[in-house]
Amino acid sequence: MASDELDLSAVNELTNEFASVRANRVARNSVTALGVVEASVDRRQARNYQDTFGVSLKAAKTVTGQRHSGRCWMFSTLNVLRSKVLANLDIDDFEFSQNYIQFYDKLERCNSRLEYVIDTAGQPWNDREVTQLMLTPVDDGGQFVFCCNIVKKWGAIPKALMPDTACNKDTAQMNALLTTLLRKDATILRKMAAKGATLEELRAKKQEMLPEFHQILCCCLGEPPVTFDLTMEVGENADVDKAKVSRQLSANGGQERLVLRDHGITPQQFVERYVKLDLSQYVELVNFPGETRPYEHAYGIRYFDPVIGGQRLRFLNMPMEDLENAAVESLKAGVPAFMMCAVNKKLMRKDEDFSGVLALDGMDLDGTFGVDLSQTKAEMIDDRECGMTHCMAFQGVELGEDGKPVAWRVENSWGDDFGFDGYLVMDADWFRLYGGDVVVERRFLPQRILDLWDTLPLEDVDYWDNMLAIG
């Protein structure tokens, strides 16, 4: 009869037999000396992936770096939006202040999370929904629409006006402090609700709590400017108020340059004049196959959106071919596309030569360990082996003779010393298995998808749903 215990003698027999197989000895020696990744890199295959693409956009000179934080969604969204600034100002480099966006993202998260606490105050502490709300109430993760909602409401500024601080280069300590205060305030609100406080009274108390979060953020990130003077060089074809542009010689008395001066503007005016963001023009497509996740359905996540009153997270589940076609059309038009994937799958992160390669055949884990690790994408979503944990931006694509993607050029936010000067080369088959989220403008989608996006009802799923292991 089979036992529910781990059999000591059987395990000892496995241990004694292990070294009798030559392949086991080679694998053991390699992995113990080098680690799992380095021992499993297939260098013959990995060397085939080069940073050369048939369709490749001219990106900004600056490669962004999120440091020790989970702000990839913010960096990748701003990397997409800055392409608009480059075009509108006719310049070749620009970087938004991620610190400014993070300040208001954290403040909005504290407000919305306390609002969700009020909404669930009648449920017990050990209710799964309440537990989930309290686990990571002020974490770093996010989405394209989350960043755009901040930009739309609070505006944006150039990085020089509010650069990163120690607290968003490594966000752990700041997040822990905000979380402690939020949990304390959540307890106060729940106790008030248990004693019969009205919704109006609970929200009034919440408003009294918010200044303390603002104070912590000012200490950690600095005070965000309410107005500022914009002075920057622009190109001849800049789409700006010509009355605000003057010609002047460069500092060394050489070539004449154009300088834009816009004094006393708000961050919202900067977005209105120089970013020209229209959030309604973006559509988010995902590929989450599975019996419980039918295609041509629009999903959202209850108690997930951090900006109350902003555009809600909404994504349309579609076959992967639709995501690929949308990204290709965007790139052909010269517009980068936001994307998400499970970036750590077969990522040769510490390999000196191939850290920037994401390919199914670039690493042979099955061969190294002598086990079969293969699963379908649907299975990996169900058992949480695969989730959309990292956000980047498509900047190029290589197309095969059939017009389908062969490989993608991806702008990352891990600095310029990673990968191919900050970029990754992603095999198309790798993205089909481990990728699953693309955001593009409406103009790059066929009418049949737009009709679904515009008319399908939003289906809210639980905060912990297995299809939503997303960054």
Count of Cβ atoms closer than 10 Å to residue 88 Cβ: 19
Pick the catalytic residue from 111, 220, 287, 390: 390
Q: At what angle do helices 172-194 and 199-221 cross, to 10 degrees?
A: 170
Is 389 in contact with 49 (CB distance < 8 Å)?
no
Cα–Cα separations (whole angstroms), residue 238 to 37, 228, 234, 423: 47, 20, 6, 28
Find out whether 32 and 39 touch, Cβ atoms under 8 Å: no
- If one counts every other C-beta atom within 10 angstroms of the C-beta of residue 243, the result is 6
Is-contact 409 395, C-beta < 8 A? Answer: yes
Number of residues that make up the chain: 471
Q: How far apart are CA 312 and CA 306, in angstroms?
A: 9
Structure tokens at 414: 């891990």
Please indicate whether residue 72 is annotated as part of the active site. yes
Interior angle at CA 196, CA 195 and CA 202, nearest 5: 100
Contacts of 135 (CB under 8 A, 6+ apart): none
User: Given the structure tokens 């503007």, which residue do they identify?
Assistant: 265
Choosing from 72, 110, 148, 391, the catalytic residue is 72
Cβ-based burial of 99 (10 A; exposed 0-12, middle 13-18, buried ≥19): buried
Beta carbons within 8 Å of 56's beta carbon, 6+ residues apart: 395, 396, 409
Q: What kind and span of H or E run contains 103?
A: helix 98-119
Exposed/middle/buried for 64, CB within 10 Å: 0-12, 13-18, 19+? buried
Residue type, 3: S
In the numeric block, which tokens belong to residue 7? 């059999």
DSSP calls for 201-219: HHHHHHHHHHHHHHHHHHH
Strand order in the sheet with 256-265: 228-234, 256-265, 245-249
Calculate the alpha carbon distances from 405 to 333, 400, 420 in Å. Answer: 16, 6, 20
Query: Which among 79, 111, 149, 412 is annotated as catalytic?
Result: 412
The Cα–Cα gap between 471 and 468 comes to 9
List active site positions.
Answer: 72, 390, 412
